[in-house]
A and B are shown apart, each in its own frame.
Chain A
Amino acid sequence: MTETLQVSLWRGGRDGRYVGYEVPMRANQTVLDVVTWVQRHLDPTLAYRFACRVGMCGSCAMTVNGRPRWTCRTHVSKVAAKGRITIGPLQNLPVIKDLATDMQPFFEKWQAAKGAFAPSRTRNDEVAHIKPGDAARKTADAGIECINCAVCYAACDTVRWNADYLGPAALNRAWTLVNDERDAGNAARLAAVAANGGCHACHSHQSCQEHCPVALNPTASIAGLKRRTLQAYLKGEIKP
């Protein structure tokens, strides 16, 4: 007889509820496998989001037993408690339906933090020569592998409490650009992250680095932004 997993999935929008399902246990089964099995065998109306299934695209993050996780790289054996697992949408984001959240506020804050690269050269100029060993490049590299999954955003207490807070991912992105010597947008970027809701709103609870699936440390990036904006403010380069 096949062992089964007792799965509770969030169904509906903001005012939805958890619904129980029985899913066969498999070897090396991921949480995303479980959700997919429910949709394909029990209820095709189940809404969720995924793309690459290998931990690169950042699409499939959900709340698993109370913790935000990337579901495609989370094994059921690691998180199931006595054969039970509860899967909900990411917190701190509006629920569209079931396990799919609206990522718009998350990406709008990337824009607000000036998270887009501002080129200092044109295509007609010579390519910039960046030494991989430069201190600034190393600092940028430390935070560059973000996959935009919003796990840190969902885990952050300050995001929960302060609707204006830009959040760990957007600030981490800003920090990588602040340390990118090819970028020409730092005046506006530092002003953006030094305003209300910027890096100084962070309480350094470090939930972001605790939950980040690719082991980045946005708290350290935010600390870097605090130092850099403080210097810029004291020099009169930015005015909040």
Chain B
Amino acid sequence: MNVRLYVWQRTTAAIMAPLVLVHLAVIFYAMRKGLAAADILARTRGSVAWAAFYGLFVAAVSIHAPIGLRTIMTEWTPLRVRYCDIVAVAFGLLLFGLGLRAVAAVVLP
């Protein structure tokens, strides 16, 4: 960990904190209202707001989580830092790809 990674990890954490709260509130709302998948999709498809909300969420997670994973790998595995960097970047790209795919599935008309 250095100051550059520290800034990225703390910044993305600050972005995610309110997004997580909204995400949890949405889950509670959907459960209490008994919304079916079709009801949810009717609200999210074509919505620029939900696309931006979860797109930002995915971007923040894809940066935040690999930095933490890199730290764990450098401290708890015998892997060289260079390999940890490669694995962390690959993990971030995987999260970003899977996340965008999920967002696309609920917001694209």
> Is chain B a partner of chain A in the same complex?
yes
Check A148 for interface membership: any CB of B closer than 8 A.
no
One digit per residue, 1 when the CB lies within 8 angstroms of any chain B CB and 0 when it does not, for chain A 3-32 equals 000000000000000000000000000000
Distance to closest chain B CB from A95 (angstroms): 21
Contact digits for B1-21, partner A, Cβ 8 Å, 1 yes 0 no: 111111100000000000000
Contact flag A194-B2 (CB < 8 Å), given A230-B7, A233-B7:
yes
B3 touches A194 (CB 8 A): yes
Q: Which residue of B lies closest to A239 (CB)?
A: B4
Interface size bracket, B side: 10 to 19
Distance A196 CA – B1 CA, assembled complex (angstroms): 5
Interface residues on chain A, number (Cβ under 8 Å): 16
Bound complex: CA A230 to CA B74 (Å): 22
In the complex, are the beta carbons of B75 and A200 less than 8 A apart?
no
Q: Is B6 within 8 A of A226, CB to CB?
A: yes
Contacts of B81 in A (CB 8 A): 196
User: A219-237 toward B: CB 8 Å interface, digit per residue (1/0)?
Assistant: 0000000100110011000
Could you tell me the distance in whole angstroms from the C-beta of A190 to the nearest C-beta in chain B?
A: 9
> B interface, by DSSP: helix, strand, loop or mixed?
helix
**Contact across chains for A230 and B75 when beta carbons are under 8 A apart:** no
Are A162 and B74 closer than 8 Å at their CB atoms?
A: yes
Query: Top 4 closest A-B pairs, CB basis?
Result: A161-B75, A194-B3, A240-B2, A200-B6
A240 to B71, CA, bound (A): 16
Q: In the bound complex, do residue A161 and residue B3 qualify as a contact, i.e. CB atoms below 8 Å apart?
A: no
A161 to B7 CA separation, bound complex (whole angstroms): 22
Q: Is the pair A201, B1 in contact by a Cβ cutoff of 8 Å?
A: yes
- A240 CA to B2 CA, complexed, in Å: 7
12 contacts between A and B (CB under 8 A): A158-B75, A162-B74, A196-B2, A196-B81, A200-B2, A200-B5, A200-B6, A201-B1, A230-B3, A233-B4, A234-B7, A240-B3
**One of B1, B6, B71, B76 near A230 (C-beta < 8 A):** B6
CA distance A116 to B71 in the complex (A): 29
Q: How far is A158 from B7 in the complex, measured between Cα atoms in Å?
A: 20
Fill in one digit per residue for A186-197: 1 if any B CB lies within 8 Å of its CB, else 0.
000000001110
A158 neighbours in B (Cβ, 8 Å): 75
C-alpha spacing A194/B76, complex, angstroms? 22
Interface flags for A71-106 (1: CB within 8 Å of B; 0: not) read 000000000000000000000000000000000000
In Å, the complex CA distance between A229 and B5 comes to 12
- Bound-state Cα–Cα, A162 to B73, Å: 10
Most buried by A among B2, B71, B74: B2
Q: For B2, what are the chain A residues with a Cβ–Cβ distance below 8 Å? A: 194-196, 198, 200, 240
A-contacting residues, B1-45, CB 8 Å? 1-7
Q: How far is the CB of B91 from chain A (nearest CB, A)?
A: 19
Q: Which residues of A contact B75 (CB under 8 A)?
A: 158, 161-162
A130–B24 Cα gap in the complex (Å)?
53
Provide the A145-187 mask, 1 if CB < 8 A to any CB of B, else 0.
Answer: 0000000000000100110000000000000000000000000
